Each structure stands twice: as structure tokens, then as C-alpha cells.
Amino acid sequence: MTREEWLKLSAALSLGAMLPANVIAALSDNELKRIDFGKDFIWGTATAAYQIEGGWNEDGKGESNWDHFTHYHKHKIKTHENGDVADDFYHHYESDIELMHKMHIPAHRFSIGWSRLLPQGAGQVNQKGIDFYNRVIDKSLKENVAPWVTCYHWDIPQALEAKGGWTNRDSIKWFEEYVDLCGRSFGDRVKNWMVFNEPMSFTLAGYMMGLHAPGGTISFDKFYSSTHHVVMSHGAGGRILRERVKDANIGTTFSCMPVDGWKDKPANKEAAKRVDVMANRLFIEPVLGMGYPVQDLPALKHIDKYILEGDKEKMKFDFDYIGVQNYTRWMVKNFPLVPIVHALNIPPQKLGHDLTEMGWEIYPEGMYRIIKQFAAYPGVKKIYLTENGVAVKDEMINGEINDVKRTQYIKDYLAQVLRAKKEGIDVGGYFIWSFMDNFEWAEGYRPKLGIVAVDYKTQQRTIKASGKWFSEFLKG
């Protein structure tokens, strides 16, 4: 198995059950109106600290694992770039939030940089970091852009990474201290919280494969240990926020993607079931009190050695909502030589649909399927689509970026969200990834997923046609 194939595995973060062949078609995109989703439906855009902030070593901020990774393992970034400056949101947050207001965007999902608050990961607090996020929150509220805060979006302080990061059981107490600080500092104004963003991404691509921070060589033990400690931290973080934040709306997010068995062959359908466990069920089920799904993926028995007495009860937390994030789907075939899942990805170009600039299949029905799959869990009360977007080739002509393909993508996926809502599923909101182009992790700055373009030399922002469409849609 090549490293590229493993990268695709790490990106394929969920699957769903097959739908009947005669399933009812989705609503036409030209019928979509904001009011169709209900007056209480939350609309927003999403970003993450390392991807947009810059200011990587300013005002007392400590080094994060992604600072370290992009500086010392830059060969693992396709473009050899880093997020030292990125969109320079650290200095442009006021005008960026004003632009959100101008575009009628009601909610802004962003993450807190752990190393900006606690430069060494624990202990001494950096007040200037607290002050920065207070300014961001206050500006958001002033502009009527509701702040939705993600506690952890992949950037643990390097001081803690040097001690093993999430592979170290102490990471649970480190995370508790950090979340407690977030709750005490911002909980008087921030009521909507997400504990983690896409845990499969940083455990598998980071600790197991070394393709993301912290890097390193392939390690199955690191994957199993980090998985359990992150599962434990879901409950730990959720309980602290419940205690610290009055009237909190607390969730966590998972990247989800329906995966089918190639040509419906029985062995391939069984392979899809195994990948479903790895990609989609691994974190949600223990958090819901169902335990690890070892019966459908026996390799997960290796987690047992990291489970201590009392852990199974502490893994559980009663989340107010679950965030699901969908971009595409995955088609797999049985392949015994691949560790853990014994499955291999079918190249998306063989599936007969359009592809994104990142080579992902455009498959809007995947949104509907994954909403249905997560809504089937009795413990899931409400679902938010906390990320959805697409990388397309943007071209500026006479100062305009007419990204027709992105606009159509958003319409098509929104039609599938509405389809699920009309079937009675409690879907509470939709956040576009991303508000603006940013540093896309190991892909560098090349993929453009924003509805606002960024000129990284001048830091000039340009609203794309997709952003103008979304703005008009929100006005309606």
C-alpha cells in the first residue's frame, strides 16, 4: 500500500448503509430558499486557528505541533509551505468579521489555539492569548455573528507533543485544564461549543501514518493509544463545559463519508463494513456508551490494553448535538494486505462522476446518507452539518472569481440536507468550509475551498461568486 493510498484512507472518514435503489430524488436546487430550512436553522461558515490565524509566535504564543511539523517536516507538505502567516486573521480579525456581517452570515465557527492560551500546554496562562479571543468573540457579537467555538482542531502545544501528545494518558488531564480555561474565559458569551474536530484525522493521519503532525513513522500502537485517550477526552471536555458554561449547547464533530463495496460483491461489501467501523463508528459509539465496535473490526481489540478500570463509564457523554462533516464518498474493495481494515480504495475517477481539485468524487447524495446513518443512533439528539465545501480551480478575471462549480456543489448538497429534514430528521444547521481560502494542512495553500479568496501577498479579500450567492441566499 502506497503512502498516497494511506492518505486517502485518512481522509475517508465515514460510510453509510446502502439506500434502496428507488429512493426518492432530492429537491431541485433552484427551489432552495432559506425559509425552507426553518427560521431556527443555523447558517454559518467554518475556519480553524492554525489554518487562518498566522501570528504563530506573537504575543507569547507557544509552538504548536503544526508549527513544529511544518518547520521540521516541510517535505510532508505538498507545497513545502506553513501556516506562520496564513490569512493573518490574528491581525485582520476585525475586518474579516465585518465582512461576515456584510455577507449576512449569522454564525462563525472557529477554533481556539491551545498554545496561544497555554504556551507550554499547561501551567502558566498567556493573558494576551485570552485577550485575543475575547476581542474576536466581542467583535463577532457586535457584528451579530454568533461565535461557535471548537476547542480542539488538531493543534496541541508542541511542549505536550514532545511528551507523547495524545499517546500519553496524561493528555486527558492536560485537555481538562485547557477546556476548563476556555470555559472560564469565554463561557459567559459563547454558548455553542464543539469539543473536538474530526478525531479520526489527527489520530490516523498523524499518529498512525505520520502524514500529519506530529509526523514520524507508521505506528499502530500510537493510533490505538491516541484513539482511546481522545475518546476519553470527549467525555472529560464535555463535562467541564457543562459545569463551566451556563446554558451551553455542547457537541463534537466527525468527518463522515458513505463508503460502498465495489460492484456490490459480497467480499467488497464486507470490506466496506470494516472501513465503516474504522472511519465512522470508532469514536461516536464509545461516546454514546456503546463501547468500541470490536465485533465488526477485530483489530480494535488492541485498544483494550489502554483501557483502565472505570474508563468505559467515563467515555460516555450526553452531547446536545453531533456535528457531521461530509465532502464525498469512498468506494472500496477487499484487499487483505492492507492492515486493520483489509480494504483498498477504488480510484474516484473510475466512478463516473465529477471530481474536485483534490481528486474527490462529487457525490451529493452522500450528505443525505450520512445524516440518515448518524440520526439512526438513539443517543444522537440533533445533527449539525459543521463542514461541507469543495476545492475547485478558481480564476480571477477582471477582479471577479466566478466559481460556478462551487456554487452548484453547495446547492446540490444543501438539497440533500433539506431532503433529510423533510423526512423528519432534526438537522439544526449548516456551516460552509470555509469562509476563506486557507492553509489546507498537508496540501498547503494550493486547494481553494473558501467562498472568499485571499491574496497571500497582500492579504486582500475578494468575495467569490459562491460567496455572493450564499449572501443573497441568506438575505432571503
3-state SS, residue 60: coil
Nearby residues of 39 by Cβ (< 8 Å), 6 or more positions away: none
472 is catalytic: no
CB of 428 closer than 8 Å to CB of 420: no
Q: What type of residue sits at position 431?
A: F
CB of 293 closer than 8 Å to CB of 285: yes
Cα distances (angstroms) measured from residue 169 to each of 160, 240, 261, 293, 386? 11, 18, 36, 21, 28
For residue 228, the tally of other CB atoms under 10 A from its CB is 26
For residue 17, the tally of other CB atoms under 10 A from its CB is 13
198 is catalytic: yes
**Residue burial 107-139, b: 16+ Cβ < 10 Å; e: rest:** bbbbbbbbbbbbbebbeeebeebbebbeebbeb
The alpha carbon of 318 is separated from its chain's Cα centroid by a whole number of angstroms, namely 20
The DSSP code for 245 is S
Which one from 53, 81, 198, 285 is the annotated catalytic residue?
Answer: 198
CB of 376 closer than 8 Å to CB of 308: no
Which one from 161, 285, 361, 387 is the annotated catalytic residue?
Answer: 387
Query: What span, in angstroms and rounded, lies between the C-alpha atoms of 144 and 44?
Result: 12
Residues involved in catalysis:
198, 387
